[in-house]
Amino acid sequence: MHDRRQAAGPPRGRETHPRAGEARHEELLDTALDLFLEHGYELATIEMIAARVAMTKRTIYARYPEKSALFLAAVLRAIERQAVPREALEELEERAGGDLAATLKAVARLRIGQVMTPDGLRLQRVINTESYRFPEIFVAGFELNTAMVVGFVADLLDRAAAAGRIVPTNSDQAARAFMSMVVGSQVRSIVAGRPPDPGKLDERVGFAVDLLLNGLRPR
């Protein structure tokens, strides 16, 4: 005789299946990123990634028909995870009490600190070594991270100029120059395996902020 209780719905275990599947997908992307960094794009293989993540090649190819598709998915996900939300930048300004110099220093430390994390460092190295082959990752890194921070700094300078605290300037160019000077040079050293000690880092950030604001101070 048919048991009506069997028609009540799927077993409880199935309710967590989509979540478990997504966790496995994230594990695949994390593992792929590790191996692409460890061996380089050319030498890292789907077989190698499948073995490390304990997944069949068929399962991986069903989602990513080519190695390049898996590489892009892994790197773009890492870029998105590291993106600085506007709210985080605004919180830095609020903590600084609206002080322009203090906010600029906090923004610079935030961007440098991102690269100094293990995830940030490996992502930067992947972008540096593979952006010639995959320009999409360079563009994504700029649009999701650099452009957001540059825009925020430019907005800070515009508001400071409107309040008469600095002279009016091309805020976008000034923000780009500032971030290149204070962040770009430090990032290059960090990626090369020569991270600055905290004292030197504070000194360099402070110097760059003073140089920018002294150049924009009303005469």
For residue 7, what pLDDT band results from cuts at 50, 70 and 90? very low
Is residue 186 within 8 A of residue 112, CB to CB? The reply is: yes
Is residue 121 within 8 A of residue 115, CB to CB? The reply is: yes
Return the SS3 of 192.
coil
For residue 40, what pLDDT band results from cuts at 50, 70 and 90? confident
Is residue 165 within 8 A of residue 72, CB to CB? The reply is: no
Residue 173 has pLDDT above 90, yes or no: yes
Task: Encode pLDDT of 180-207 as tens digits.
Answer: 988 888 888 888 888 888 888 899 999 9
CATH number listed for the domain at residues 15-80: 1.10.10.60
* Region(s) of the chain under CATH 1.10.10.60: 15-80
Q: What is the CATH class of 84-216?
A: mainly alpha
pLDDT: is 4 or 99 the higher one?
99
* Region(s) of the chain under CATH 1.10.357.10: 84-216
The pLDDT of residue 126: 87
Is residue 103 within 8 A of residue 204, CB to CB? The reply is: no
Q: What is the mean pLDDT of the chain?
A: 86
- Rounded CA separation 7/4 (Å): 6
Task: Encode pLDDT of 53-70 as tens digits.
Answer: 999 999 999 999 999 999
